[in-house]
Structure 1
Amino acid sequence: MGDLKKYFPESIGLKSIFKCCGLCMLMPVFLASAVGDWQSFASILNWDPLIWKNDTLYAGSSGGLLRLSEEQFEVFTNSDGTLSHAKLSALFLDDEGNILAGTGAGKAIIDIIDKNGRSRHLDLGLNEITHITGNGANVFMAAIKGLAPGIAHLLRVGDEYIFRDFFDQFPMQISRIYQLALLNDTLYAGTNQGLLRTDIRQPNLKPASAWERTATSIGSAEVKVLSVFDGNLFFTLGQNLCLYENGQYSVEKTSLSATSILTFFKYDTTYYYSQSATVYQRDNTGRRWHTDFIVPGPVISSEICGDDLVLGLQNRGIVKLNLRGEILHTFIPDSPFSEGYTSMAKGGDGTLALANYAGHSLLRKGRWHNLIRSNQHTAIHSQQSEAFSADTLAYTVIGLPLVFDVLISSNNILYTSFQGVHIDLARINYAPVVKPGPVFYVNLDHYLDYGILDTTNDLFDGSEASTAGSAQYVVSRGMAEGKDGSVWIINAHASNGEPLIRILPNGEKIKYSVAESGDKLQVLGREMAFDERNRLWIANQSHRENQPVTTGGITIYDLVRNEWFLLTTAEGLVHNDLFSIDRDIDGSMWVVTAGGVQNILSPATLSSGNFSTVMKNNVRPPLNGLGDVNVSKVRIDSRGNKWFLTTDGGVRIYQRNGVWFNKGYGYNMQNSPLLSDVVYDAVFDSQSGKAYLLTSEGLNTVITPWADPIESEDKIFAYPQPFRPGIEPRLIFANIPDQSTLIISTVNGRHLLTLPPTDSSNQGHEIHWDGRLDNGQFLNRGVYLYFVYNVDGLRFTGKIAIL
């Protein structure tokens, strides 16, 4: 938070988005300091739609509701309780200043934020909300319910909105309603089958007969965009720009782009539309449209703000221009640059790295920095902006390969493995700076030190041995770092039978073959982990139907003795098809198989003579409690809690004490601000207890009770001070040592309350107290003492003030 110049240096042209030049603008700051606090992160670079009202600009984004005024920039998400979900798909402001937002992914909720900032949420059983429009008393929402497109109708009664009906019967069968528009008492709906309209004064809009297909005289293509100005309706009909005026339909312009987003706006008496990076102006006399000016990127939204124009640019925030096309200011907020991240890693310095095929987003000390892939241009900036921050690295990825794994090594090298990448240069029409390959690397201390690991010197091998494989198609999967700093990488489907690569700290590379392992090493490894004795465990895919035929199971490689072992159902695995593996703090291994989750003790020694006998005693039965979800990965935090990531139920957490967290439900979309029940990855900050959860809809963080043990009472404190019971939700006693008891008394020593370690208020390294005594009454105003002690003899005394 601070002066605008601090966050938007003049070198990038960001003085202010408003008229006044000396403004102070606040950047979004996400504070999550107490156990149970959540944050939601997704890209906030695409502002759509834009709404200007009362000198404030509102916008929707994948990362929340954005509000920009002369004084501050704010982001509202589900983690602060404003929205039901951070992903906002539709936005409407009524004439009283109430905000209606369509949010969610897969399940859509209508969030209503009144002019005083209070939120309430309407669940109408919708799957998606695509557009909202309304007048003084009515709000209409284009939506999907089940598989059926329709229109939800809300009525405003006083200060409340109530649901009236859902309309899904129309004169023709449609699969999509794109936008809605109200022209006086006529509601228009742009659909994939043309333009619909109805008179909203009719008593019943449910039957198909209440709706009319219109504009058929000029065509029957899809209608994606609708805008009303001065009693006229502008709309797109296929690739035509059309006008409804004085009861007549006409085609104003033909040959619009079929793929670019189109937006309308009007200033004074002149009409405009934008498409791609061009703004067109209408000659109202001759009714001709001509190019007015070019903007620095594809336009996705537009809004007139006073005498100026604000455009939302694809992945570039917003730009403010005058009506001559001269750029006045640009606003690109601090944000990850993209969406669709599928894997992440955390470095020793706390850097969090998210990855997809288009690049990486790094979260460092609360700020994002992006390393964006460019086909031909590298640009590293000597000074990074405290607003949107990015560099570009020139390397090539053909197609849209899935990122399988990300690793930040102990020497701060970021590695990213691609599960399937074409390295055939004939498939691209330019000479890349760095040619394609299955593993990308970059030195996080020096971004110019980057590159691609490929088939050069036979390091990686193509997949021609697999069904429909090709020597030009290379697959890499899991990665792991050994105690000596070596980085190990799986080259799945390797046709030469060398599916395991080791990169030594000095850069030397070693390959391991199926043959030299005695067929214990498999060509379809998925994930890897080292046990406490530096033995490498590889979770293998079982592939029995066609080539390459693999057994699966777990390959174990003893580096010291150079011995290989294969653990299968013969030793007690419930299934040979393994998805994930991780090491527990007690040295045992946890695996996710197609038949369930198992714990495997890691023996002190292994030998080929007794391997099967020893491991039969070390493989535990499947863990109960996960039968209702599809587990895809296991990740284990520094306190030994097992986090089972699922594709349909969020995260289940099996605590070290053998108790399922939150009665077995863990974190999901129903009981927490988790952005999606599809969770791709999880990493942990042991010092703070923060868990990072990468989902299909963005990144969540949550402060858990499982930070590293606190072994001193020196940093205990209580906040907020003074505390107002019943107004503020909780008084937090922070930096509490493990197994601590809290006692509250008067200053003269009269006992008032004891909270033992087993109390629900104890959140590990924090105690959360609502201000109530055992009799249910709030503690009276005054100054009180609190005492903290634990079984190890730690003692602390402090004071709290109650208002």
Structure 2
Amino acid sequence: MYSQEVSIDRWQDLFSYYQIKDVTKGNGKIYAAAENAYFSYDIDSQEIKQFSAIDGLSGEDITTIYYSENYELLMLGYRNGLIEVVLDESGEIITDVGIVDKIGISPAEKKINSFFEKDNLIYIASEFGISEFNLEFLEFGDTYFIGENASNVRVQDVAIINDKIYAATIGDGIREADFSSGGLTDFENWSVANGGSWSNLEVFGEDLYASRTNRSVYRLESNNFQLIQFYDEQIRDFSTSENTLLVTTENIVFAYDSDFNLVTFFESNDEIQLELAASEIIGDQVFIGHDDLGIFQSNFSLSNEYESLNPNTPLLNNIFTIDTAPSQLWVGYGEYSASYNPFPLNNRGVSFFDGDEWINYSFNEILETPEIAEIAINPFNSNDVYLASFHKGVLNIVDGVPTVRYDSTNSPLTDQDPDGENDTRVNEIEFDSQGNLWILDNRSDDPLKILSPTGNFSEVNISSVVDDIAGVTGYSGLVIDRSNNVYFGTSEFGIVGYQPGSGNIAQFEIQSQDDSFLLNQVRAMALDQSGILWVGTRSGLRRVSSPASIFTESQPQSRPIIIEQDGVAQELLFEQTITDIEVDGANNKWISTVSSGVFYFSPNGQETIYHFTKENSPLPSNNVQEVAIDEVTGTVYIGTDKGLLAFKGDVTGPRENLENVFAYPNPVRPGFQGVVTIDGLTSAANVKITDVEGNLVFEQTTQGGSIQWDTTAFGKYKVASGVYLVLITAEDQTETTVSKIMIIR
């Protein structure tokens, strides 16, 4: 097995930073918390820096963020109760699981809602109560359970003024306690200052302001909370500067002076519809966090003009489909249930990455095409891209411009809606070697459609092999072999094959290991370089050695992969729900799952090269939806339900010649435990490695564009220090080249 240890330098963060959860300020910067990462904006230099799991963050769901000017550190609070402290000077991240590990509190009650700093303490408002965190020693102190009989209450915010601490709660009013009362850990020292449900507290000058969940703001006057303003929308956030109080509602930011006189407000304009999370103010500059569009900057003199301050990232983190071509990546955010139900519909747009810059298309810009479930890049023209919609057919984008959408109104694609509302569900599309686009049209009597390069449609009826077409709720895993035979999975009836040359249609079922039941809910398929069909189901993995035999035999053999683990034989990926299977240039397999991350297997599946999860890698989630491989660079794109990452893989696709052969790392330095990759190879090239005296230590024939050498002599022992020659001969022996690798032990 290769070493699981992987350098963090091989990972690239491709998360979205547009879904802002909270905003804070400090050290001349604005800090914006996105879903599972954050970025900073330097006011003076205008520099933007991103921070994510690549930099050591947990990748969990962030709920609040706070900067301490006194201690020069940033605090992040998470939905699961995690606290992370980022030291400003060194960038070191300190993780504290004190709340995560609390016994007797449900996971939902551990959510961190806000921070309030006083002296050397941070008071943490959570769904169960209040906790102290000492900023000097970076450790937890006391916890206050402030409900009746020390019960849990949902504390949304905390503030301290005039030697009293106030807690805004959901359903249990504003609770208060006097610091001179004898101890805040005693629930009897807490009383209800005002009933109801409250969301925000803010100290502004000599006053305390509070917001209720009924869209109103109160001010503490003579120990009583007095109503001073009612709003048309829910209040999302309070924030202050020396002279200004900002009240952020769902769509408007209101700015007030010290007497609560309205100075100005910030609302939507013709270009930007504000859907707000939080805001901050520095001088006369206002920084507004948007639910979907990141951070906008405005100022008091131009209160309805906005400048975007965001890093260049994809639209969203909930990845559903990706496809790649050399130096291109397309990302879709569609969604449907395990039973292929696309409702409620989402209108999420798509994203395109050219290796340097993201271009995001809004829902309107893709002709209002919802539920993008699959993407196919034309192998003969990478500027010709098709998007499959699980509600509106197939959209064609040419040179970056959406041009035409094929649906039931202008093509043979089927309308699912009996009322004629154009519910055209396509979730699988694939190009063949002739440039035809194959389309799976769900719930149609002729589900297999073909769009020719000239724009003509044809269709294939499969009712002869699938009796209950109406019972097929969805199709999956469309693949095409070298003979242009077509295979695809179904939701209930196994695999269907179509042979264009003969017109034959066949179907076969996937068996369990002991043939006692069927695994017909196919989710993903891939053909490897040996012609073996790899099948991922909702309950495990199967291989079909000769899939074309489906057209001559009634039931081709589908078998599990049996591996030995801890001396016990077991089925590889037993009972795992598999979402995608991709084959790289070395015939290795990337296999993603719903709950166990992503696996990288040797060609026969017997060796696990890597197994990446959120626990051992920067993956933000173990629910990996899809994988795509750039064969030129070897980059592996891994899309999860909480974000996208790029991994610098070990394998590339075959090259046309041997002009750009290189090896890395080179030299191999003392202590290195990994493998040396020799890249830039042609298909079926012979690679020999010898020492300077000509002794052969390694030989292999390539299947893709690269191979790996573990720096041993045929696996027996590590070779000694020295220079090693790499002798490469193309398959037809018309081209040769020599490279060198230096080993330093």
Q: Could you tell me the TM-score, scaled by structure 2's length?
A: 0.78
Q: Deviations over 1:416-444 (max 9, x none)?
A: 3333x3xxxxxxxxxxxxxxx2333322x
Q: Could you say what secondary structure the match of 2:135 adopts?
A: strand
**Structure 1 pair 396–629 and aligned structure 2 pair: CA distance change class (3 A):** closer
Match of 1:224, as an amino acid? Answer: S
Quote the offset at 1:632 in angstroms: 3.4
Rounded Cα–Cα distance in structure 2 between residues aligned with 1:213 and 1:756: 77
For 2:594, the equivalent position in structure 1 comes to 647
| 1:451 counterpart letter in structure 2 | R
1:134 and 2:117 are equivalent in the alignment: yes
Aligned-residue sequence identity (percent) comes to: 19
Is 1:73 matched up with 2:75?
Answer: no
Q: Which amino acid in the other structure matches residue 601 of structure 1? A: S
Q: Does the CA-based 8 Å contact 1:263-1:300 persist in structure 2?
A: no
SS in structure 1 of the partner of residue 188 of structure 2: helix
Deviations 1:627-685 (A, max 9, x none): 374333333333222233222111133321533425xx711011111011111111111
For 2:690 and 2:183, locate their aligned partners in 1 and report how far apart those are by CA, in whole Å.
63
Alignment of 1:307-326 (within 5 A): 307-326=284-303
User: What does residue 61 of structure 1 align with?
Assistant: 34
Output one character per residue of 1:455-480: Cα deviation in whole Å (capped at 9) or x when no partner. 4454323255xxxx987544322222
The 1:323–1:460 alpha-carbon spacing in structure 2 relative to 1, beyond 3 Å, is: same
Matched, 1:593 2:537: yes
Match for residue 23 of structure 2?
50
Q: 1:474/1:267 Cα in 2 relative to 1: closer, same or farther (>3 Å)?
A: same
How far is 1:619 from its partner?
A: 2.2
Distance 1:302 1:558, change over 3 A: same
- 1:244 counterpart = 2:182: no
Change beyond 3 A, Cα 1:589–1:569? closer
Q: 1:718 to 1:689 in 2, by over 3 A?
A: closer
For 1:554, the equivalent position in structure 2 comes to 495
2:375 matched to which residue of 1? 406
Shift of 1:206: 4.7
Separation of aligned partners in 1, 2:548 and 2:232:
71
- Cα distance in 1 for residues equivalent to 2:51 and 2:590: 28
Quote the residue 2:718 is aligned against.
Answer: none
**More divergent stretch after superposition (579-588 vs 352-361):** 352-361
1:451 aligns with 2:419: no
Going from structure 1 to structure 2, the CA distance change for 1:765 and 1:136 (only over 3 Å counts) comes to: farther
CA distance in 1, matches of 2:533, 2:328: 25
Aligned to 2:440: 490
SS in 2 for 1:79: helix
SS at match of 1:42: coil
- The 8 Å contact of residues 737 and 765 in structure 1, kept in 2 or not, is answered as no
Q: 2:553: which partner in 1?
A: 611
CA 108–684 in structure 1, closer or farther in 2 if over 3 Å, else same = farther
**For the Cα contact (< 8 Å) 1:46–1:316, is it kept in 2?**
yes
Structure 1 residues 603 and 34 mapped into 2: Cα distance closer, same or farther (>3 Å)? Answer: same
- Read off the aligned partner of 1:197 and give its amino acid letter: E
Q: Which amino acid counterpart does residue 503 of structure 2 have in structure 1?
A: N
- Residues 539 and 576 of structure 2 are in contact (CA less than 8 Å); yes or no, is this contact kept in structure 1? no
Separation in structure 1 between the aligned mates of residue 653 and residue 37 of structure 2, nearest angstrom: 32
Distance of aligned partners of 1:239 and 1:165 in 2 relative to their CA distance in 1, 3 Å threshold: same
1:207-218 to 2 correspondence within 5 Å?
208-216=187-195
Per-residue CA distance 1:223-271 (angstroms, 9 max, x = gap): 222222224221211211111244231111124413x634343442x43
Q: 2:336 aligned with 1:362, yes or no?
A: no
Structure 1 pair 796–492 and aligned structure 2 pair: CA distance change class (3 A): closer
The aligned residue for residue 438 of structure 1 is 393
Contact 1:574-1:595 within 8 A present in 2 as well: no
Correspondent of 1:526 among 449, 453, 475: 475
| Matches of 1:788 and 1:671, distance apart in 2 | 36
Q: Which amino acid counterpart does residue 697 of structure 1 have in structure 2?
A: K
One-letter code of the match for 2:506? Answer: F
Deviations 1:668-707 (A, max 9, x none): 0111110111111111112222211111111011122233
Q: Give the distance between the partners of 1:439 and 1:188, measured in 2 at CA.
A: 56
Report whether the alignment pairs 1:461 with 2:415: yes
Q: Give the number of aligned pairs.
A: 668
- For the pair 1:506 / 2:454, whether they are aligned, the reply is yes
Native 8 Å contact 2:17 2:38 kept in 1: no
Pair 457,48 (structure 1): closer, same or farther in 2 beyond 3 Å: closer
- Distance 1:666-1:731 versus aligned 2 partners, 3 A rule: closer
Aligned residue in 1 for 2:280 = 303
Question: In the alignment, what sits opposite 1:380?
Answer: none
Q: Distance in 2 between matches of 1:452 and 1:480?
A: 15
Alpha-carbon distance change, 488 to 648 in structure 1, aligned in 2, over 3 angstroms: same
Q: Which residue of 1 aligns with 2:104?
A: none
What is the CA deviation profile of residues 333-385 of structure 1, one whole-angstrom value per residue up to 9, with x for unaligned ones?
Answer: 312223433212123553333334321011112210011122xxxxxxxxxxx
TM-superposed deviation, 1:61: 1.6
Structure 2 CA distance for partners of 1:447 and 1:697, relative to 1, 3 Å: same
Amino acid at match of 1:61: A
Q: Counterparts of 2:192 and 2:666 in 1: how far apart (Å)?
A: 60
- Structure 2 residue runs without a partner (length 5+): 1-5, 101-106, 335-346, 563-570, 682-686, 701-705, 712-720, 730-735
Amino acid at match of 1:675: P
Instruction: State the match for 2:252 in structure 1.
Output: 278
Give, in whole Å, the separation in 2 of the partners of 1:741 and 1:207: 74
| 1:591 Cα deviation from its structure 2 partner | 1.0
**Counterparts of 2:538 and 2:257 in 1: how far apart (Å)?**
65
Residue number in structure 2 paired with 1:343: 321
Distance 1:450 1:347, change over 3 A: farther
Structure 2 match to 1:379 = none
1:273 alignment partner AA: V
Give me the whole-angstrom Cα distance separating, in 1, the residues matched to 2:158 and 2:607.
47
Tell me what 1:232 maps to. Answer: 207
Q: Secondary structure at the match of 1:358?
A: coil
Instruction: Please tell me the root mean square deviation across aligned C-alpha atoms, in Å.
Output: 4.2
Q: Which amino acid aligns with 2:553?
A: F
